[in-house]
Amino acid sequence: MPQLLFADQLGPHFDLGEPIVLVESFGRLAARPFHWQKAHLILSAIRHRALDENVTLVRADSYREYLATNDTVFAAVNPTSFGYRKLVNSDRFEVVPSRGFVTSEEDFAAWAESKAGKRLLLEDFYRSTRRRTGLLMEGVDPVGGAWNFDHDNRLPAPKKVTSLGVAQPWQPDEDDIDAQVRRDLTQWHAEGKIRLVGHDGPRLFAVTREEALAALEHFVAERLDLFGPYEDAGLTGDWAMAHSLLSVPLNLGLLDPLEVAHIAEAAYHSGNARLSSVEGFVRQIAGWRDFVWHLYWHFGQDYTDLNYLNATTALPTSWEELSPSAIDAACVSHTIEKVADRGWLHHIERLMILGNIALQRGLNPKQLNEWFINSFVDGTPWVMPANVIGMSQFADGGKMSTKPYAGGGAYISKMTNYCGGCSFDPKVRVGENACPVTAGYWAFLDRNEKPLAGNFRMAQPMAAMRKMVDRVAIRDQENRRGTSL
């Protein structure tokens, strides 16, 4: 029985040992705006995978259109979105359980059930995964005697430098397939058949198994050691800092996260990377990545409709069009420019700059969720809801996080050097040079006093906001400012 392989199942761990059919679906590309570089990565990955002799590449408008041309029954690895699960839920498919994550759906369901309706916590899930897999464990104890090393990590960006000085990230050499992909995208975009946003640019991420392994090896040998300390920091001259840039090959299914975690662990045991960095990285790969995947199914399809804080503001045009020039706030303009240039930001820029601004300005969470999927090279339907609706926008009212991830300019000023080039002052909340992130934070608390009243973790900042003599002035100022930052 041939296997229908989905475009995010491209690595060997998805191969069921049957002849493979791979569909390049034009309709998928035309259905929503895509970042240039994301569309390139997907097409390039599919076309490279189709070079294998057991793979037949089919070009069709959609999977359904292709299925209508034959009556073959296919094997398939359970796909990664509600839409595709509906497609394979028919007598045309024999489906095996999903792959490409550390914890199976069955094991997650059992773990979640054991929590008896209490909030599911990443820390619990992560520890249970470590215990089950033996990752960074010595018998029943965590290696190094602690489950996390946060006190060694999360340092502010180093002063008086604009880059971290770590080895440059691995970068692929483009080939004839990339050249053809670029020609096709340029033509389809010019003909108005697809809508591409951001800039085209040299391919920065792995799209084949070979490339993915090379990227992984380079990261572990050259960059992993500094991953932990500067995980949350940002420097204007260093777009990647010491991050792995592995989300693209992981989300294309080219790397198995458990193999990635084991290789990182080996770097600690061989003395090539410090424990705090390795633990921090394993937590991302085997903890957070799996956690948000399982929450996608656990919270269900309607989760993206949640809007606890009743946030209804439309996304600014500068975000929709990835056009930084009209934005004065240096942190926002810098990050939007990076999204336009590469379709990638590191975690804290996604969460504490763009996510935080969106939360403060009351951007519509569902629209924001779609925007993140469209604009980021690693964006997928499963990865976004827990990250955007839950973690960053608190639109689920606290199913995912105990409090909103809102912060003022002081945090950005401490962790990055972005404020240096800004016309606003992170310490000022009212007046000409009032920082929109600082003032926006207080205006957010003011606006959401009622829905956040019962949240004990917000009690202290709420009390401080209520005592502020300039509460009304900030409210008026930020209402006038709106999304014009």
Residue among 230 and 424 whose Cβ is closer to ligand SF4: 424
Structure tokens at 174: 């483009």
Task: Tell me which of 308, 418, 441, 442 binds ligand SF4, using CB under 6 A.
Answer: 418
> b/e for 290-310, b at 16 or more Cβ within 10 A?
bbbbbbbbbbeeebbebbbbe
Q: Quick one: which H or E segment has residue 230?
A: none
How far apart (Å, rounded) are the C-alpha atoms in residues 254 and 13? Answer: 8
The minimum distance between CB 234 and ligand FAD, in angstroms, equals 12
- Least distance from C-beta 360 to ligand SF4, angstroms? 11
- Kindly state the smallest distance separating residue 15's Cβ from ligand FAD, in Å: 21
**Residue 465 near residue 471, CB atoms below 8 Å:** yes
Which partner in ligand SF4, ligand FAD, none is near 85 (CB below 5 to 8 A by kind)?
none
Query: Are 93 and 73 within 8 A, CB to CB?
Result: yes
3-class DSSP assignment, residue 120: coil
| Measured distance CA(178)–CA(204) in Å, rounded | 12
Is 157 a binding residue for ligand SF4 by CB under 6 A? The answer is no
> b/e per residue, 418-446, with b = 16+ CB within 10 A?
bbeebebbbeebbeeebbbbbbbbbbbbb
Closest distance to ligand SF4 from the beta carbon of 356 (Å): 10
Residue 234 in contact with ligand SF4, rule: CB under 6 A: no
Q: Which of 252, 363, 383, 412 binds ligand SF4 (CB under 6 A)?
A: 412
347 binds, among ligand FAD, ligand SF4, none (CB under 5 to 8 A by kind): ligand FAD
Query: Which tokens is 138 given?
Result: 């010595």
277 binds ligand FAD (CB under 6 A): no
Interface map 385-404 toward ligand FAD (x if CB under 6 A): --xx--xx------------
Q: For residues 249 and 404, which CB has a smaller minimum distance to ligand SF4 in the complex?
A: 404
Q: Which helix (H) or strand (E) holds 450?
A: none
Q: 101 and 382 in contact (C-beta within 8 Å)?
A: no
With CB under 5 to 8 Å by kind, the binding choice for 331 among ligand FAD, ligand SF4, none is ligand SF4
User: Per rule CB under 6 A, is residue 413 in the interface with ligand SF4?
Assistant: yes
Q: Is 209 in the site for ligand FAD (CB under 6 A)?
A: no
Counting residues that bind ligand FAD (by CB under 6 A) gives 27
Residue 355: which of ligand FAD, ligand SF4, none does it interact with, CB under 5 to 8 A by kind? ligand FAD
Instruction: Output 4 or 235, the one with its CB closest to ligand FAD.
Output: 235
Binding mask 420-449 for ligand SF4 (x = CB under 6 A): --x-xxx--------xxx------------
Q: Rule CB under 6 A: is residue 355 a binding residue for ligand FAD?
A: yes
The binder of 22, among ligand SF4, ligand FAD, none, by C-beta within 5 to 8 A per type, is none
Is the distance from CB of 381 to CB of 396 less than 8 angstroms? no
Q: How far apart are CA 275 and CA 228, in angstroms?
A: 9
Give yes or no for a contact between 371 and 31, defined as CB atoms under 8 angstroms apart: no
Q: How far apart are CA 215 and CA 237, in angstroms?
A: 21
Ranges within 292-351 binding ligand FAD (CB under 6 A)? 292, 346-347, 350-351
Q: How far apart are CA 129 and CA 289, in angstroms?
A: 12
CB of 234 to ligand SF4, least distance (A): 11
Residue 63 or 441 having the CB closest to ligand SF4: 441
* CB environment 216-234: b (16+ within 10 A), e (fewer): bebbbebbbbbbbbbbbbb
Smallest distance from ligand SF4 to CB 481, Å = 11
Residue 416: strand pairing partners: 234
Comparing CB distances to ligand SF4, the nearer of 285 and 327 is: 327
Shortest distance, position 370 Cβ to ligand FAD, whole Å: 12
Q: Answer yes or no whether residue 359 interacts with ligand SF4 by CB under 6 A.
A: no
Residues sharing a CB contact under 8 Å with residue 163, sequence separation 6 or more, in sequence order: 235, 237, 238
Q: For residues 49 and 345, what is the distance between their CA atoms, to the nearest angstrom?
A: 27
Residues in contact with ligand FAD by CB under 6 A are 243-247, 250-251, 284-285, 288-289, 292, 346-347, 350-351, 355, 372, 376, 378-379, 383-384, 387-388, 391-392
**List of residues contacting ligand SF4 (CB under 6 A):** 329-331, 409, 412-413, 418-419, 422, 424-426, 435-437
